[in-house]
Chain A
Amino acid sequence: MRHRYARQLQNVHDDLLRIGSRVEHGLADAMRALTTADAELATNVVAGDREIDRTHVAIDEQIFELIATQQPVASDLRTLLATSAIASELERAGDYAKGIAKRVTVLLNQTPIVPIPATIGRMGELSHQMLTQSLDAFVKRDIAVARGLADIDAQVDDLEDEANAQIRDMIKHDVATLESGLILLEITYMLERLADRTTNIGERVIFMINNTTEALNQ
């Protein structure tokens, strides 16, 4: 048994879960800031993204070193390649959470104050659920859990269409809500993209487990 190697693999695994957890919190906080009009919370999410970026860089450095010095093969190699890709997906997901938080701070300075459509809140819940589920699939090495992301992603896509229709109606009824409406459209776009990132994670998990490529986001 290669103890140092095993410890290094475990460190990479733990760091990925750490970055995943930060992104989960970032998204949850960004959505809470949106629905509760909490500017301070939104600012905290923006600040927290730097730590996600740092951890992402650290993960890639560790994987680079492991490949160079330990010559991992087979499932270890697939796991490391998948981990590197998943870390990048999480970093991008973190950027979307930060983007949502930034727009919340802008939205809160707009007048009139517009109601947040419930469909956006629901999109946020499902995107968060997908993020958690993709990380569960990674930890449990469970292909069924990874594949389950496809159905939820389809729901998120439908909700985005619904939310965007509602926002357009709002703008049509009161043109003064144009600026706020455009910000909300950006938020729905980012939630939809974030959900797509989690399906990418699911695809990497499937590759990691059985060395095959599957598309979860048709």
Chain B
Amino acid sequence: MTMRSAMTLSRSIGFADLVGTRTRTRSATDSVNAKIEVRNFSFFYGNFKAINTVSMDIPANHVTAIIGPSGCGKSTLLRAINRMHDATIGAHAEGEMRFDGVNVYDPAVDSVLLRRRVGMVFQRPNPFQLTIFDNVAYGLRVNGMRDKKLIAQKVEESLKRAALWDEVKDRLFKSLGTALSGGQQQRLCIARAIASDPEVILMDEPCSALDPIASLKIEDLIDDLRDQFTIVIVTHNMQQAARVSDMTAFMLMNRATRAGELIEFDQTDKMFTAPSDQRTEDYISGQFG
């Protein structure tokens, strides 16, 4: 890689922000379009191996769904992308989880800065006990933004991108985020996540606490966001995975080792019409799980 292209990539991902002046490396075999490259990645809780040597390329500006039965390690894998397990005692990783070519488990990577680039939306909407405005502005202020006009602009823009603006614009400073409906709360959390301009949004069962109509709104929103963000979603709802994602990864727990393994990773239409592995076929057809 030439110095010029390395610098361009560094700027585009804020690489310098993540690891200071450290030089990044990237092999010739790296996939050009992969935003996240998972390479022989294993994850442990103490001595227990929760994920065993997963390798996959998560493409940029696409929606990638991770499906599989309970206990297969899909949420562990998702959370490993932005090092959400850092605070878990004994949790550690082997292999590589590369974000734009940078292994996020490199000791030089600052996890706080990483999470600014890789946002997260959780299973249950978790708005703060703050006004709708402050919920979205919170992350901006924490990240050092002081210009009130700019903050107001970003809040409006984020709420619009999260398809919530029209429903809340008249009560931004009057209502608490927690006073919104479940579906609105989840879209507020998405607005909060995208306010700090992440490149990747991780979604851990974002619709499991929502009714079908609110779920479909979130799905529409995911569809709208796919051009601007790389989205990785864990879902128990296979039809939701089929509806919203471009790529689907199927994980399964190895009965002998109890570790989650990647069984198949392919384009979603292929996975749901003609999967290559019989275990995928059995799972998506409801034969088990």
Interface set of A (CB-CB < 8 Å, partner B): 1-2, 5, 71-78, 210-211
Closest 3 CB pairs of A and B: A211-B274, A2-B286, A73-B272
A-B contact count (CB 8 A): 32
Say if the beta carbon of B29 comes within 8 Å of chain A.
no
Say if the beta carbon of B88 comes within 8 Å of chain A.
no
In the bound complex, residues from chain A placing their C-beta under 8 Å from that of B238 are 73
7 interchain pairs, CB-CB under 8 A: A1-B286, A72-B285, A73-B272, A74-B273, A74-B280, A78-B274, A210-B274
A81 to chain B, nearest CB (A): 10
Besides A1-B287, A72-B285, A73-B285, 14 more A-B contacts (Cβ < 8 Å) are: A1-B288, A2-B287, A74-B272, A74-B273, A74-B274, A74-B275, A74-B284, A75-B274, A75-B281, A75-B285, A76-B285, A77-B273, A78-B273, A78-B274
In the bound complex, residues from chain A placing their C-beta under 8 Å from that of B272 are 73-74
Whether B287 and A74, one on each chain, are in contact in the complex, defined by CB atoms closer than 8 angstroms, is: no
In the bound complex, residues from chain B placing their C-beta under 8 Å from that of A2 are 286-287
Q: Report whether over half of chain B's contact residues are helix, strand or loop; otherwise say mixed.
A: helix
A121 to chain B, nearest CB (A): 42
Say if the beta carbon of B242 comes within 8 Å of chain A.
yes
- A54 vs B239: C-alpha distance when bound (angstroms): 33
Whether A211 and B273, one on each chain, are in contact in the complex, defined by CB atoms closer than 8 angstroms, is: yes
- A5 — nearest CB in chain B belongs to which residue? B286
Interface residues of B in 187-242 (CB under 8 A from A): 238-239, 242
In the bound complex, residues from chain B placing their C-beta under 8 Å from that of A210 are 274
- A210 vs B270: C-alpha distance when bound (angstroms): 12
In the bound complex, residues from chain A placing their C-beta under 8 Å from that of B284 are 73-74
Most buried by A among B239, B274, B287: B274
